[in-house]
Structure 1
Amino acid sequence: MPHIHVKIVGKTDEEKRNLSEAITEAVKVSVGADEANITISVEDVEKADWVEKVNKPDIIGHWDQLYKKPGYDHLK
C-alpha cells in the first residue's frame, strides 16, 4: 500500500493531477501495486521556503534514503 507525498513549487491543479496519474502508473508497473491501494498527496511549497521546509529536513536530513538525488547544489 504505497503512499507517495510530493512537495512541489508552483504547479497548477491540472499539472498536479497529471503528475499524480503518472506516478500512479509508475507505481503500478514498477512494484505491482493495485491502483486501489495507491495514495498520493501533493503539498505546495513556496520557493522561498524550499530550503528550510524541504531541502534541509527531507533531502539533506534523509540523504541515505534518497533513490534519486538532486542535480542542484543541495547545500544552498
Structure 2
Amino acid sequence: MPHIAVKMFPGRTEEQKQEFAAKVVEAAKTILGSSDASLSVSISEVEPAEWDARVYDPEIAANESMLYKRPGYGALAQS
C-alpha cells in the first residue's frame, strides 16, 4: 500500500507530473510487487522561499536516518 508523496518547486507541466507519477507507479509495481490498485501518488508544489521551512528541515534533515538518497545540497550534503 505505498503512497508516494513528492514535493517539488513549481514549474513542471501537468503532462510532466502525470508522466512522472506513471513511471513511479510502474517502478513500485515492478520493484515492490505492489498492485496498481494499492498505489497512490501525490505531488505538492513548494515555492523555493518556503522549501527549507516546509520540506528540508522537517522532512529531510529531521528524518536523516530514513533517507535512501541524500540531497546534494544543504547540511546533509557535507556529512
TM-score, L = length of structure 1: 0.91
> Unmatched 5+ residue regions in structure 1?
none
Q: Percent identity?
A: 39
Cα-Cα RMSD: 1.2
Match in the other structure for 2:5: 5
Match in the other structure for 1:52: 53
Shift of 1:71: 1.3
d(CA) in 1 for partners of 2:75 and 2:36? Answer: 33
SS in structure 2 of the partner of residue 40 of structure 1: strand
d(CA) in 2 for partners of 1:35 and 1:72? Answer: 33
d(CA) in 2 for partners of 1:62 and 1:2? Answer: 18
Shift of 1:62: 0.5
Give the paired residue count: 75
Shift of 1:21: 0.5
What residue identity is the alignment partner of 1:35?
A: D
d(CA) in 2 for partners of 1:6 and 1:66? Answer: 14
Match in the other structure for 1:39: 40
d(CA) in 1 for partners of 2:30 and 2:14? Answer: 24
TM-score, L = length of structure 2: 0.88
d(CA) in 2 for partners of 1:32 and 1:74? Answer: 34
Ranges of 4+ aligned residues in structure 1 off by more than 6 Å: none
CA contact (8 A) 1:4 1:40 kept: yes
d(CA) in 2 for partners of 1:21 and 1:62? Answer: 26
